[in-house]
Amino acid sequence: EDQVTQSPEALRLQEGESSSLNCSYTVSGLRGLFWYRQDPGKGPEFLFTLYSAGEEKEKERLKATLTKKESFLHITAPKPEDSATYLCAVYQDGSARQLTFGSGTQLTVLP
Amino acid sequence: EPEVTQTPSHQVTQMGQEVILRCVPISNHLYFYWYRQILGQKVEFLVSFYNNEISEKSEIFDDQFSVERPDGSNFTLKIRSTKLEDSAMYFCASSVEREETQYFGPGTRLLVL
């Protein structure tokens, strides 16, 4: 059973068209939720850490939010350079030294 | 800005051969990790390492794998007898403390023929 599920699998946006990516988790005891960006053939690049429900973090056109069941990555007025795969990962109780990743959302922003 | 580095960036090997993947974690970090990503699949945890010993490992991390911190800067993953299914991107990561953000290196693409 998947513990971290991301949707949609792929998303195509026009430049400037805002949208949200979803990460839902079913782990017992969330110890931290992380968003990463991954470009093709590269390592995950850290974006945000969220530890408790209600927490929000912002960076340029990106904003991450967390509830007790899911996290959203909101992208406002995206640009083509925002095209990448966005990964969600969690620490859970009993496994605080390993991240469990979702499958990612592949975002394409068209000019 | 400090970053995790990995060498080599690409490695091609024959099935049954041994490979060593190298990583230099961020200098003040205490926790080190290896993950792998088979093409088109999720990033999967292999092992975590703290205070010169393995602290957690996954089912993937069987007897063919080993990790070592041979000196104060390097962290290595050894695959003793490679199999075709070991072909993947291998990522090293490090964090200051447990439950803190893990920072990833650029990866080593391993191809087993």
Contact B105 A31 (CB under 8 A): no
For the segment B24-46, the average pLDDT, to the nearest whole number, is 95
Query: What percentage of chain A reaches a pLDDT higher than 90?
Result: 83
Write down the pLDDT at residue B98.
77
How far off is chain A from B32, nearest CA to CA, in Å? Answer: 9
* Chain A hits for B55, Cβ within 8 Å: 97
Which of A25, A16, A19 is closest to A107 using CA atoms? Answer: A19
Write down the pLDDT at residue B82.
97
Exposure string over A93-107, b if 16+ CB within 10 A, otherwise e: eebbbbbbbbbbbbb
Write down the pLDDT at residue A96.
60
Write down the pLDDT at residue A73.
98
Write down the pLDDT at residue A28.
76
pLDDT at A2 exceeding the cut of 80? no
* Chain A hits for B33, Cβ within 8 Å: 97-99
For the segment A68-84, the average pLDDT, to the nearest whole number, is 96
Q: What is the CA radius of gyration of chain A?
A: 13
Round to the nearest angstrom and report the end-to-end CA distance of chain A.
38
Local confidence band at B85 (pLDDT 50, 70, 90 cut-offs): very high
> Do residues A55 and A68 touch, judged by C-beta distance below 8 A?
no
Q: Is A78 on the interface with B (CB under 8 A)?
A: no
